[in-house]
Amino acid sequence: MRRKGVSYAKYGYIFCIPFVLAWLIFSLYPTIYTTVLGFTDLKGSGKTEFHFLANPFENYVKILNNPSFQQSLSNTAILWIINFIPQVLLALLLTAWFTNHRRKIKGQGIFKVLFYMPNIITAATIAILFSTLFGYPMGPVNDLFMTLGLSDGPINFLLQKWTARGIVSFIQFWMWYGYTMIVLISGVLGLNPELFEAAEIDGASSAQTFFFVTIPNLRTILLYTMITSLIGGLQMFDIPKLFQNGGPDNATLTTSLFIYGQAFSGSYMYNRASAASMLLFIIIAVLSAIIFYIMRDKDAAQLKKQEKRQRKLLKEAVKAAGRAAA
Amino acid sequence: MKRKKSIAKSTMKVIIYTVCILLAILSIIPFWIMLMNATRSTYEIQQHAISLLPSKFFLSNWEVLKGKTFNPITGFTNSMIISVGVTVCTVYFSSLTAYALVVYNWRLRQAFFTFIMIIMMIPAQITIIGYFQFIYRLHMTNNYLPLILPAIAAPCTVFFMRQYLLSSLYIDIVNSARIDGGGEFYIFNRIVLPIMKPAIATQAIFAFVGSWNNYFLPVILLTDKNKFTMPIMVAQLRGDIYKTEFGSIYLGLSLTVIPLFIVYFLLSKYIIAGVALGGVKE
A-B contacts at Cβ under 8 angstroms? 263
**How far is B141 from A264, CA to CA, in rounded Å?**
14
pLDDT of residue A6: 65
For helices B72-103 and A9-23, angle between their N-to-C axes, nearest 10 degrees: 150
Q: Count other C-beta atoms under 10 Å from residue A279's C-beta.
A: 19
B99 interaction partners in chain A (CB closer than 8 Å): 15
Q: Which of B153, B133, B149 is nearest to B221 (CA)?
A: B133
Interface mutation target, options B36, B106, B129, chain A, most CBs of A under 10 Å: B129
Map residue B180 onto helix, strand or coil: coil
A226 interaction partners in chain B (CB closer than 8 Å): none
Q: Over the Cα atoms of chain A, what is R_g?
A: 27
Q: Which residues of chain B have pLDDT under 70?
A: 1-3, 240-242, 278-282
pLDDT of residue B281: 39
Chain-chain contact of A105 with B16 (C-beta, under 8 angstroms): yes
Q: Which of B188, B24, B44, B35 is nearest to A11 (CA)?
A: B188
**How far is B69 from B65, CA to CA, in rounded Å?**
8
In a domain, A11, yes or no: no
Largest Cα–Cα distance in chain A? 95
Q: Would you give the DSSP letter of residue A236?
A: -
**Does the pLDDT at position A136 exceed 90?**
no
Average pLDDT, chain A: 86
**Does the pLDDT at position A108 exceed 80?**
yes
In a domain, A98, yes or no: yes
pLDDT tens digits for range B163-184: 889 888 888 888 888 888 888 8
Mark which residues 66-125 of B lie under 8 Å from A by CB: 93-94, 96-97, 99-101, 103-109, 112, 119, 121-125
Q: Does B8 contact chain A (CB < 8 Å)?
A: no
A9 interaction partners in chain B (CB closer than 8 Å): 104-107
Contact A31, B124 (CB under 8 A): no
**Does the pLDDT at position A131 exceed 70?**
yes
Contact B109, A11 (CB under 8 A): no
Q: Does B148 contact chain A (CB < 8 Å)?
A: no
Closest-CA residue of chain B to A33: B130
Q: Which of A169, A168, A162, A171 is nearest to A244 (CA)?
A: A168
**Does the pLDDT at position A321 exceed 70?**
no
Mark which residues 154-173 of B lie under 8 Å from A by CB: 158
pLDDT of residue A23: 94
Q: Which of B99, B199, B190, B91 is nearest to A15 (CA)?
A: B99
pLDDT of residue A203: 85
Q: State which residues form the domain around A205.
A: 33-43+50-296
In a domain, A318, yes or no: no
pLDDT of residue A219: 83
Give phi and psi for A40, each to the nearest 5: -120, -175
Interface mutation target, options B16, B112, B126, B163, chain A, most CBs of A under 10 Å: B126
Domain covering B68-236, topology: MetI-like fold (1.10.3720)
Complex-level ipTM beyond the 0.85 threshold: yes
Mark which residues 99-118 of A lie under 8 Å from B by CB: 103, 105, 107, 110-118
Give phi and psi for B97, each to the nearest 5: -65, -40
Q: Count other C-beta atoms under 10 Å from residue A169's C-beta.
A: 22
Structural domain total, chain A: 1
In a domain, A308, yes or no: no
Please state the rounded mean pLDDT for residues A11-30: 93
Q: What are the sequence ranges of the domains in chain B?
A: 1-58+243-282, 68-236
Q: Does A29 contact chain B (CB < 8 Å)?
A: yes
Q: Which of A128, A121, A134 is nearest to B248 (CA)?
A: A128
Residue B43 Cα distances to A136, B51, B138, B196, B224, angstroms: 15, 13, 49, 54, 34
B110 interaction partners in chain A (CB closer than 8 Å): none
Residue B139 Cα distances to B135, B136, B145, B221, angstroms: 6, 5, 12, 11
